[in-house]
Structure 1
């Protein structure tokens, strides 16, 4: 599939859902936890979670096709463990960024460029003769453990949070997140969705990930940053096991404008959101620490070099 066609296909699908009143990144929590991977789409052959736009692609595919977990692997990986794809099954396209180096014709300097490549994965329910180890169910942790983990991430991520506000906001000038008291929220799930949203904004500070933070409501730049924060909140909620909640219907029209203006925007915003969520988890030491190096999650800086190029070079 050509890159332009992939951009259009994915963007059109998300636009269609948004126009129908469905926020696609709030849907995956209808799927049970399985194989210890909670709500994060994961390659169960390597133990590595997918990130960026692949998270949205695999969430959407699992929901549309009625899969009961978020466990995936490639055709070769299935073959390597003695499984095979059931006859008649069709795979799901995911993407990765391949970096190349090319001399600049004018200056002669070598410049890095990124190319979007695709490959195919299959859900474990599309496989036959799958070893039992890849089918085992793991009971989800109790809600208290889920919320304790969310609290730990927020406390240890290194971002100042004050619970003195009448509204939730991030203030770049003083580098501070302000939230209403917990009692002002209808539920604990809602509280954490909002908290993670504002923490995602804070990762854009110049001393962290240095994103351009627009404060002009209604502008494309503002809508783009809000989309990053919404996606990042969904990714963080998935990590700790809390169902994501859409924060405000008032942003949907602005998101639609951004997506219709630029077919790459959802890819770019998902990449930035993945980087933001990764930064928060790394700072709170919530990433894998004792898995083999080949299977460890990438750091946000590594992911930035591999994945963020589609935000800049395409």
Structure 2
């Protein structure tokens, strides 16, 4: 992105970037705050971090259920019948705990009808076998969060960082009449019934931009309240309407980020895009829906500009109903 001349140009370029986010590869969303355990979702035995959609899904489940520990383990690892994983400890799954499933892709040897590890597959190819003799297969493995396991050692508490709330957040909270509570825990959410925002403590975030951008995300949700822009926010988790609202809020927070004292790094922008990309998969008419969500995000950002006192009543009235033109890149049909 070239250096923009002004805020409108910056937002227009961001909108273009989001319009083509489905075409990008290698984007992985990372939660930018830590619970009492800190870190990204990872296996509690191997320490291997989950990647891609698995990392996003486990982070989302943690937020929904209030898990404060990033460690996840399989039932085999919990039971440890052979004393391989934690021979001096007895772990037990708490009654009523439910599994979350992660996706694992692996190479399958077609002629020999057996699954291979990736190391075995690489060796077979190095030995001269053809790619056509293998296919990708997938399986789903049940994992459980450390918060649901008795006997598992607790993680040491992390040291909180010095994070300051941006002045813009206070202006928006006051101007929109939405109280922001930093009441700890591992969840960040807007409650429509309370018309309040709940965030983890500022010191649990990885950077000042991360904290303030998350606050902007939840404030963006609050613009959909019936007393404001009155968007349809009735969708439950897993529905396309829920996913659509997440798209609007994340893009709006990115648009509003230009008003923060902190500058969004390329990594922060990529994280915004990765979050959008993860949710757009839940919506059937992907390109068209994304364009509509961008326009709703622009409307929400304009409303927030007004409530923060960044534009006048006249400027807001003039801007209502207008939207930046978003072009969609032509998509060639894949060769068959």
TM-score, normalization: structure 1? Answer: 0.48
> Is the helix fraction higher in 1 or 2?
1
Structure with higher Rg: it is 2
TM-score, normalization: structure 2? Answer: 0.45
